[in-house]
Amino acid sequence: MSKEEKIIRFNPNDPATEESNIFGLPFNKEEAAIVLLPLPWEVTVSFNAGTANAPDLIFDASHQVDLFDPYINEAWKIGVFMDEVNKDWQFKSESLRNKAVQILSKITSGTLNENEKHTASLYQEVNEGSKKFNQEVKDYTASLINAGKIIGGVGGDHSTPLGIIEALAENHASFGILQLDAHCDLRAAFEGFEYSHASIMYNALKVSQISKLVQVGIRDYCEEEVNYIVNSNGRVKTYFDRDIKQAQFKGKNIDQIFEEIINELPQKIYLSFDADALDPKLCPNTGTPVAGGFETDEILFLIEKIVESGKQIIGFDLNETGNNAWDANVSSRLLFRICNLVAKSSGLV
């Protein structure tokens, strides 16, 4: 059955069936305009674990999402497909996570000796395993891009989208990153892990095609990261949660603030959305929750304004969803709307 025939036969008002794909949609990978890539990886998480289970939980929760989008008429016809969870990645994450925990326990107990032979071996295994994972994500993403797909990563911790970003860099001469997050993620090899969840943007900025990083909602960061921002010569622009809130207290509305943010972004944008950008009542089980943050409608309003500005979102990720049905419920609904908006920004609807 062709995609067109499936669209004719599909009733978006019916409940999802067990055999349907994400959001209860009937499309396969070849028919879908957007392919969601599960990234069940959380090797270096230093607080709450469980984000590696999020792709499965989000998939299950997505069958409860209604397919009416008030912003885009019949958006479901775009075609969204979620790939199967790579069990090899999941197994390797669990294995390397156990090794990372051994290091983390030594750090917290104050007994870490990086030169000790066993510890050095653990570091090498974790760093090399993470590097291999990133390369595999990059290679698979490249194959999907070559097939004409828009890619959305579904994590997993925030280290996971590096391979997607690197693959996009081979197809786009220049683009920016919009990072929605409670954390800067600009630490160099945090806790000795080169591909730490706290180092994703530090690593991403090694990609020369990234012209600018715009961070929004940041409210937990260290002096090292502030210095990185200050010394970036404008390549990193950070909108701290405190400053956004205080501007509102003084009378500036969110529309004006978001307009300023959008003006900082280049024409092509990669969207990296860490669930802890949200108010933690919406994501209480995320990897590292922080008080403050956004409501879901504020996030969607910002992305809608980006679409209305004529700028293009060339890829995206949603990561750090907690190992909990409520967190997955929130993320699945955001993911549906984000997919639709990304498609609209590329002129698919």
Give the model confidence (pLDDT) of 206-236 as tens digits.
Answer: 999 999 999 999 999 999 999 999 999 999 9
The pair of structure tokens assigned to 135 is 């390369």
Q: What is the pLDDT of residue 131?
A: 98
- Residue 339 has a pLDDT of 98
The predicted pLDDT at position 276 comes to 97
CA neighbor of 269 nearest in space, from 180, 137, 336: 180
pTM of this prediction? 0.96
Residues 87-96: contacts with CB under 8 Å, at least 24 apart? 89/39, 89/40, 89/41, 89/133, 89/136, 90/40, 90/41, 90/52, 92/129, 92/133, 93/40, 93/41, 93/42, 93/43, 93/52, 93/133, 94/52, 95/129, 96/43, 96/125, 96/126, 96/129, 96/130
The Cα 204–Cα 14 span in angstroms is 41
Which residues, given as ranges, of the chain have pLDDT below 70? none
Topology of domain 3-345, CATH: Arginase; Chain A (3.40.800)
pLDDT tens, position by position, 244-281: 999 999 999 999 999 999 999 999 999 999 999 999 99
- Give me the residue spans of the domains in the chain: 3-345
